[in-house]
Structure 1
C-alpha cells in the first residue's frame, strides 16, 4: 500500500481544538491582564489625585494659618516701636510659632532687621535684607507670601510670609517676616513628607515658574522642570491625574493639584512598575487555574476527534486499498458504527458507489458475464494458489455474417442470448466470462478435462437446439485446455485453449476440441 500523504483528520481536529483553546486562553488572559492593568492604573491615579488634592488643601490651610500668625504679630508690633526693646516680645511670639517658622524677623522700611528670633538668637539683627521678597514687602506694604528663593547667606530655599507694620500715625515703618526653610524641620515640610511609601511613591512641589521647591532628592531642589506635563497643568490652575514620563524618562502614575494661595503645583506619584508584579501573579494564577480545565477539554476533544475521524479514516484506507489492490472483486467495505449522520450517509454512499464501480470493473457491460480483466486476475490468482482448473473457450460460428445480415442490434442480442446459456450450463463456483467480441469462456474450478468436456458438449448442444434472436439456431466452436495446479503461465493455458478452438474451426465448426500435446483433437 502506498504512503498516505497529507495530515490525518484526527491530527487536524486536535490541532484545531488545541489552537482554539490556546487562542481563547490567550485572548482571555490578555483581556484579564488588560482589565486588571486598567483597574490598577486607575486606582493609583485616583489615589494619587485625591492625595495631591488633599495635600494642596492642607498646604493652603497651613499657609493661611501661618499668614494669620504673622498678621497677628504685625498688629501687635504696630503698637510698639521697632527697636531692640521688641526683642523680648518677639521671642515670646516665636516660641509660640516655632513649629511653623524657622525664624521671625522685624524689619524696618529700609529692610534692616531690627529684631530676630531664631534658633541662633540675634544672628540677623542689623542685617539689611536684599532678597526680592523683602523689596516686594516694602514696595507693596501688604501681607505677602513670597515665591521660594535662595537665601543669600544660607543658600537654602525658603519662603517668606510677611505682614506690614504701621505706627500710631498710620505711617508704614516696616514689616514682620516669618521665614520657612523648605528642607528644614517645620510644619510645612512635615506635611509634604507624609507620602513616602515603601513602594516608591513620593510627593514633590514646584513653584509657579516650574522650579522644584520640595523633592525627596535634595540635589534637585530649585531645578527647573519644563517637560513634566503634570507640573505644567497644575501651575496653570488645573487638578487631575495621568500617567507621565518624568524628566529622567521614568513612568509614573501622577496625581496633581493646584494650590491657589501660592500658585504651587503639588504632585503625588507612584512608579508605574508597581503594577508589574501583581499582573505577573495574575497571569500565573490564570495559567495554573486553567491548566486542569485545559487538560479535561483536551481529553474530551481527543475522544470526540477520535470518534469522528476513525470511521472516516477506515473509509479512506479502504478506498486507497481498493484502488491499489488488483483483487478488486474481493474487497469488502469496513463496518462503520457511527452516530454521526454525515458519516453514516457517507459510508452508505461510498458502499453503493463502490459496489457499482466494482460491478462495472468486473463485469462485461453487455452480457453481464465477467470481463477480460476479471478473467485475467482470476486465472493468475488460481495459478498462484495452485488451484487445478479447466479453461473452456467458445466462439460463435459465422457471427460476422449474423451482423451483416441482421444488424448489430440483433448481433448484440445473440451475444446476450449466448451468455445466458453459458450461465445456465455452468456451475455456481465456475467463472463465466466474455473474452472479447463473440468469444466467451468458462473457468471450471477444480474440474477434470472429462467433466469440462461433458459441460462443453451440453452447452454446445443446448445453444444449437434453441432458436436464437435471429429466429434460427446459432452454433459455437469450443476449445479446452487444463491446468493441474502445477506452476504454469496463464498465457500458455490460454494459447492451448485457443489452439484447440482453432482446431474446432478448421475441422468443420460446431464441435469441441481438447488440447493435447500431440495435437490430437476430440
Structure 2
C-alpha cells in the first residue's frame, strides 16, 4: 500500500483546517450580523413610526387650537360684516400652512365667508358630507379623509363650533386639508417619505386608505388587506417582518395617531438589510483572504511538531465567535513557522475588528456632516435619561433651507449643512453631543446644563451662523428650541417633542430666534 508522507498529511490537514476556519468565521459573522441588522432596523423603524405619530398628533392639536382661538373672536354680529369676516379668515389661512382653505358657515350651513375667496360659494349652503356632519355635531370635529367629487383629490375637514355669549351654537369655522397639495402635513413629511437606504413610510386612515405614500398616485388606495394595516385597524401597534401586498419581504413598524386614529407604517425592504450584510461579508473576505492565503502557504512548509499552533488557533477562533478574543495571552511560539502563523491570524483578527468597529461607527454617523446621526441620538438620550442627571436639548433647524436648495442646488445646500455642522460642533464642549437629526435639522445634548445656559449656547450658535459668510449669495439663519431634563419632562421622547415644539414656535414667530420651552410656559 502506498503510504502518505507526513508533509502531505500535515499539509492536507492544515489546508482543510484553514478553509474550515474561514468558513466558520464567515458563517458565524453572517448569522450574527443578520440578526443584529434585522433587530436594529425594526427598532429604528418603530422609533421613527412613534415619532411621526407624535408629530402628526401635535400638528392636529395645533390645528384645532388655531381654530378654537379664532372662534373666540368671531361673534354672530360679525356675520353681516363680510369684509371683516374675509379679513379674519384670510389671516387664519395665511398665518400658517395648516389649511388649504378656511370657511365659516352659520348654524343652517349657509357659507358666510371663505379664504381663499370664492364668490360662487358665498351665500350657498355647504354641500360636503364632512361639513354637514360637523355642523350637526355642534362640537370639535375631525373628518375622515374623503375624495372630492370634481377632482377626486383626497381631503379632510377640521371644524370648531362658534357659540354666542350664552353658549348657543351659531355656526362652524373649519379648514380643509388637501393631502395632495402643499400644506403643513406635506411640509412636515414630504421630504421624509422615502430615505436613501430604501426605507419609506406611509400613512393610512381608520379605514385603511392611503393618505401619504412615496408613490403619490397611490394616495386614496385602500390597503386594508395589508397585514400590518389590518393590525392597525384592530388597534394593534408593534414591529415585525412581513410580506406586503406586492409580496415584497419587508421589516415594518406601525403606530397609531391618537387624535385621528390614523396609522403610521415605517417600512424597510428586507433586501436592504441583505445588501448591507453582503457588503459586510465581501469586506470581511477582502481583508481576511490574503492573510489566510499567507497562513496556508506558510503552514504547507511545516512538516513536524505543528499540533500546538492549531490547537491555539482553534481556541482563538472559538473565542472570536463568542466575541471574547484576548490577544494579550498569546505567547511567541518556539517554532519560527508556527510563530509566524499565529501572528498572521492575530493580524487578520485585528483587521476584522477594525473593520467591524468602522461599520459600527458608520452606522452611528451622518456621512455628509460627520456628526452623530439619529440612531446615536436615540441611544445617548436614553442613556442620559436613565442616568437621571440634568441636561438640556437644543433642536435647531435651518430657516427656509428648501429655498437654498431650490435656488442654488443641492450641492450648495450640502455645503451649508457641513459649514453649520462645524459651527455647532465648535460651539459646544467635548462632553456634549451634536447630531444631524435629519434633513436640515440638528440636535445638541448639553450635559449638566440648565435651560438658561443652553439658551446662551443656542444664541451663540444662532449668531455665529447669522454673521457667517457662506459660499452662496444668500443669508443663512437658524431657529432653535430648547427643553430641559428633568424639569420639562423625564421622558426622552416627550423631551424631544417639547424642544421640537419650541422650535416650531420659533419658526412661527418669525424664525432666526431661540425659544426655551420652560420660559415659554411661565
Q: Sort the TM-score into its range (normalised by shorter chain).
A: 0.5 to 0.7
Which residue does 1:458 correspond to in 2?
Answer: none
Matched, 1:250 2:248: yes
1:158 offset after TM fit, Å? 1.0
Distance 1:286 1:171, change over 3 A: closer
Q: CA deviation at 1:267?
A: 1.8
What is the alpha-carbon distance in structure 1 between the residues aligned to residue 305 and residue 166 of structure 2?
Answer: 110
| 1:42-441 equivalences in 2 (<5 Å) | 42-83=39-80, 85=82, 86-118=84-116, 120-168=117-165, 170-195=167-192, 196-304=194-302
| 1:478 aligned residue | none
Deviations 1:104-134 (A, max 9, x none): 111233333221112x543532343333322
Match of 2:37 among 30, 35, 40: 40
How far the C-alpha of 1:102 sits from its partner, in A, is 0.5
* Deviation of 1:93 (Å): 3.1
CA-to-aligned-CA distance 1:147-183 (integer Å, 9 cap, x gap):
1111233421111110112345543232111111111
Work out the CA distance in 2 between the residues paired with 1:284 and 1:216. Answer: 32
CA drift at 1:307: 7.7
Distance 1:211 1:20, change over 3 A: same
Whether the aligned pair in 2 keeps the contact of 1:101 and 1:178 (CA below 8 Å) is: yes
**For residues 215 and 99 of structure 2, what CA distance do their matches in structure 1 show?**
22
Q: In the TM superposition, what whole-angstrom CA distance separates every residue of 1:234-274 from its partner, at most 9, and x where no partner exists?
A: 34444433333222222333232211010011122233322
Partners of 1:116 and 1:123 within 8 A in 2: no
Residues 414-442 of structure 1: per-residue CA shift (max 9 Å, x gap): xxxxxxxxxxxxxxxxxxxxxxxxxxxxx
Structure 2: distance between partners of 1:82 and 1:7: 107
Helix, strand or coil: the match of 2:225? Answer: coil
> Using the alignment, how far apart are the partners of 1:246 and 1:149 within structure 2?
24
CA distance in 1, matches of 2:113, 2:160: 15
* Inter-CA distance 19–156: structure 2 relative to 1 (3 Å threshold): same
Aligned residue number for residue 24 of structure 1: 21
Residue aligning to 2:414: none
Change beyond 3 A, Cα 1:82–1:294: same
Distance 2:305 2:49 in 1: 65
Q: Secondary structure at the match of 2:103?
A: strand
How many positions carry a matched residue from both structures? 305
Rate the CA distance shift 1:11–1:135 in 2: closer, same or farther, 3 A.
Answer: farther
Contact kept, 8 Å, 2:53 with 2:255, in 1: the verdict is yes
Q: Tell me, in whole angstroms, the C-alpha distance in 2 between the residues paired with 1:94 and 1:282.
A: 53
Query: 1-side partners of 2:211 and 2:114: how far apart?
Result: 25
Bigger Rg over Cα:
1
Give SS of 2:157's match.
Answer: strand
CA contact (8 A) 1:164 1:176 kept: yes
Residues of 2 paired with 1:157 and 1:7: CA distance? 80
Provide the secondary structure at the position in 1 that maps to 2:45.
helix
TM-score (normalizing by structure 2): 0.53
Distance, in Å, in 2 between the alignment partners of 1:69 and 1:286 is 56
- Cα distance in 1 for partners of 2:103, 2:215 equals 30
Deviation sequence 1:78-124 (CA, Å, 0-9, x none): 44353462533433433444411111111233333221112x54353
CA deviations over 1:483-518 (Å, ceiling 9, x no partner): xxxxxxxxxxxxxxxxxxxxxxxxxxxxxxxxxxxx
Question: How far has the Cα of 1:306 moved from its partner?
Answer: 6.9
The verdict on how the C-alpha distance between 1:210 and 1:305 changes in structure 2, with shifts beyond 3 A counting, is farther
CA separation of 1:142 and 1:305: change in aligned 2, threshold 3 A = same
Q: Which runs of 5+ in 2 are unaligned?
A: 307-522
CA distance in 1 between partners of 2:123 and 2:12 (Å): 91
TM-score, normalised with respect to structure 1: 0.53
Q: CA RMSD in A?
A: 2.8
1:19-58 per-residue CA deviation (whole Å, 9 max, x = no partner) reads 3322222121112122222333233222222122111111
Alpha-carbon distance in structure 2 between the residues aligned to 1:170 and 1:134: 21
- The alignment partner of 2:228 has SS state of helix
State the alpha-carbon separation in 1 of the partners of residues 299 and 46 from structure 2: 51
What SS is found at the alignment partner of 1:51?
A: helix
Aligned partner of residue 79 in structure 2, secondary structure? coil
SS of 2:160's equivalent in the other structure is strand
Is the Cα–Cα contact under 8 Å of residues 49 and 266 in structure 2 kept in the other structure? yes
